[in-house]
Each structure stands twice: as structure tokens, then as C-alpha cells.
A and B are shown apart, each in its own frame.
Chain A
Amino acid sequence: GEDVEQSLFLSVREGDSSVINCTYTDSSSTYLYWYKQEPGAGLQLLTYIFSNMDMKQDQRLTVLLNKKDKHLSLRIADTQTGDSAIYFCAERARELVFGAGTILRVKS
């Protein structure tokens, strides 16, 4: 079945880069997503990548996809305190399947 795994916690200093990693199992995934959830809020779509791409850049966000290893990463450049949140990786094959989320803590 489909499974998505993420590391649970990442702590970085303000101004540094953050890299959040994700692995997935379903090779038929068409799109892969990164969502951000701030405390008490819903999920906000940050960015997505189509499965035939290997990189996508969107301002401070860079998504890398290694389809052979089924590995997805999200790099946030110049991380700010406002980036502190939970980040969810998700894959879409038949349905949208989420990882458990990575808590990003940004220290000033």
C-alpha cells in the first residue's frame, strides 16, 4: 500500500537553510506535495512537483525529487521564524496520502 515517511523534527537557526526529507512507496504517484500547517490552522499548499520533474524552485523553496529512490525534499532558503510550523509531504496516486509531518523549529 501507499506509505509516506518523514523525520519528525528539525531545528535550525534563523537565516540558515532548512531541508526536510520525505520518502514514499507508491511508484505510480503522479504529483507530490508539500503542505504547511501553522498552530490551530488548516493545511496550506506550499508547492508541488509533477513526477516527471526532478526539481522545482519557487522563491525561497526548492523541491528535489529522486524518483528512482522515491525521495522528496523541501529546501527553505534563509529560514525565518515565521517558517516555524509542521510540514507535510504528500503523494497522490489514487488518493492523497500524507506523511506524519515534520515539526520545523526556527531559533532566532
Chain B
Amino acid sequence: NAGVTQTPKFQVLKTGQSMTLQCAQDMNHEYMSWYRQDPGMGLRLIHYSVGAGITDQGEVPNGYNVSRSTTEDFPLRLLSAAPSQTSVYFCASTPTGGFGGYTFGSGTRLTVV
């Protein structure tokens, strides 16, 4: 089925470890973004990309890196995990232009101990 696929669904990391959260979409959407969801705070934008080779920071980018080598994939890297990065992470995509209805992945629940 077409959509946004995130892996893994769950992950536990130790403080200081690194990992990559994967996000892939098969809708040929130019725009992709990463959000984190924390209780009582809604979703906050981490990084986004308007197309292959182009990325930019959102509201809470510290501690995260991204790259966009293809239209389909937009991985999020945690270089040195901290307990403050315990959260649920959502990837989203949308075509550039149009009404901009974002399609969300099902999320990755990350716990840093």
C-alpha cells in the first residue's frame, strides 16, 4: 500500500548510542519532514526537506541529523542519544503545492535509558 513507512516501530537505546530512524515514501512527494511528539506538547518539527539534496532545520533540531539523497528516503540520525530524546517520532510527506495534506507514518517509539 502506498504511504509513509517508518522503521523500527520501537527502539530502546542506551545514553550515548547512535541510531538511524528510517522513513520511506512511495508517493513521489517532494516534501518530507520529521516530528517528535511529547505528552502535552503536540508535534514539534525537527528537520524537513523540500526535495532531494535539500534539508533544513525545524523548531527542535539539536541532537539530530538528516540527509535526503533520494526522493523516497529521509532518515533521521541520533548521533549520541540522550534521555531527553525519549519520544515518539513521526515522519510525514506531502507534495509541494496543492493543499498540503501531510501523510504521516505510524511512528517510532524511542526510549533512551
Contacts and interface: CB of A to CB of B under 8 A. Distances in A.
Nearest to B6: A42
A42 B58 contact: no
Contacts of B35: 98
Interface in A85-108: 88, 92, 95-101
A45 interface: yes
The size class of the interface chain B forms with chain A is 20 to 34
Interface string A15-37: 00000000000000011010100
A94 B53 CA distance: 19
B33 interface: yes
Contacts of B107: 41-42
Interface residues of A, number: 22
Interface string B33-57: 1010000111111001000000000
A100 B107 CA distance: 17
Nearest to B90: A42
A8 interface: yes
Interface in A52-99: 88, 92, 95-99
B69 to A, nearest CB: 22
A1 B92 CA distance: 22
A89 to B, nearest CB: 9
13 contacts: A4-B42, A30-B100, A31-B99, A33-B102, A42-B105, A45-B102, A48-B99, A88-B43, A95-B48, A96-B33, A96-B45, A96-B102, A100-B40
Contacts of B48: 95
Contacts of A48: 99, 101
